[in-house]
Amino acid sequence: MALDGYSDQKMSRQAMKAELLDAETEQRLARAWRDHRDEAALRRLITAYMRLAISMASKFRRYGAPMGDLIQEASLGLMKAADKFDPDRGVRFSTYAVWWIKASIQDYVMRNWSMVRTGSTASQKSLFFNLRRLQAKLEREAAERGERLDQHQLRQMVAAEMAVPVADVEMMEGRLSGSDFSLNATQSSDDDGREWIDALEDDGVQAAEAVEVAHDAETLRNWLSNALHGLNPRERYIVAERKLREEGKTLESLGAELGLSKERVRQLEAAAFAKMRRSLEGQSREVHHFLA
């Protein structure tokens, strides 16, 4: 149902003039859409309940979204409800549609509340829409008992009430406390002030760490080169073809190439690895002894 070009007032006036469907007509229209994809029946069903969608959309105006966008999302939820509604279950369409309309509006509000996704789980969604209301309720009840709750106590009580971790409550408080700010904004009013992005920790490799990694890699390459040169030509060839190629050769193919059995190639490979292991261990001990 396209809403482009319609003002909030015009949509509301049209919705209020729409017919009121009795249960029998409602079921007949729903069956016509479900069984025969009758678009005229679908349009009539949706038009009749647009007043419900607009009424629910108006309840979310406090989140700062344009009323026209909220109504658009409500109408999308209404259409989803019409598409999935089963008239044979004996439930009125309005009862079924309420959930879909509300879910559609809530998803829209959360998507557009912040450039950073506010929440994706069911508990985070519940916190987003109920945190402030629940906090006010708990504070009011505490005041009636003559008590005053600090922030820590209030967060714990909210977490217990909604069965969510305290960390989720703290996170949502932060997300709801203010709007997004650009990291390119300056930290002071001066034109030459430092931008906030300059205060972020650099998570890249630091110079000292890069030098250390490069040094260790070069040392390891030298050790491996020395270990390889300690092998005889045939052992060195087997190791190179088996382990130093992008696609190493099989024992069978090497055996056919060298005129040896598969088992003999395996034995030579194992002997070569044993020599290399001893060479690497020896070089490592020399380094530790030098540093000690």
Could you state, in order of their start, the residue ranges of all structural domains in the chain? 8-113, 122-181, 208-291
Helix (H, G, I), strand (E, B) or coil at 123: helix
> Taking a C-beta distance cutoff of 8 angstroms, is the pair 46, 14 a contact?
no
- The pLDDT-based confidence of 167 (bands split at 50, 70, 90) is confident
Show the tokens assigned to 46.
Answer: 């949706």
- Distances, alpha carbon 28 to alpha carbons 33, 46, 52, 57, 292, in Å: 9, 13, 20, 27, 90
- Position with higher pLDDT, 202 vs 250: 250
Where would I find the H helices in the chain? 8-17, 23-36, 39-48, 50-58, 67-84, 93-113, 122-144, 151-162, 166-176, 207-229, 233-243, 251-258, 262-291
> What would the two tokens of residue 281 be?
């261990």
The topology under which CATH files domain 208-291 is Arc Repressor Mutant, subunit A (1.10.10)
* pTM of the predicted structure, to 2 decimals: 0.45
Q: Give the whole-number percent of the chain exceeding pLDDT 90.
A: 22
User: 195 has which bridge partners?
Assistant: 186
What pLDDT was estimated at residue 116? Answer: 42
Please determine, for residue 57, whether its predicted confidence score (pLDDT) is greater than 60: yes
Sign of CA dihedral 117, 122, 127, 130: positive
Query: Which CATH fold would you assign to the domain 8-113?
Result: Four Helix Bundle (Hemerythrin (Met), subunit A) (1.20.120)
Extract the tokens encoding 54.
């607009």
Tens digit of each residue's pLDDT (9 = 90 or more) over 213-229: 787 788 888 888 888 88
* Residue 118 binned pLDDT confidence (cut-offs 50, 70, 90): very low
**Are 115 and 180 within 8 A, CB to CB?**
yes
Q: What is the C-alpha to C-alpha distance for residues 126 and 106, in angstroms, rounded to an integer?
A: 10
In sequence order, what DSSP letters do the residues of 166-220 get, joined into one string?
A: HHHHHHHHHHHSS----TTSBSSSSTTPPBGGGGS---S--HHHHHHHHHHHHHH
Which backbone phi and psi does 230 adopt, to 5 degrees?
A: -80, -5
Find the angle CA(175)-CA(180)-CA(185) to the nearest 5 degrees.
140
Spatial neighbors of 81 by CB under 8 A, at least 6 apart, are 93, 96, 97, 99, 100, 101
Give me the sign of the Cα torsion angle 72, 76, 77, 79: positive
User: How far apart are alpha carbons 79 and 94 in whole angstroms?
Assistant: 12
Weakest-pLDDT range from 35-49, 140-154, 277-291 = 277-291
Torsion of CA 212, 214, 216, 217, to 10 degrees: 160
Report the chain's terminal Cα–Cα distance, integer Å: 79
Q: pLDDT tens for residues 105-117?
A: 888 887 776 544 4
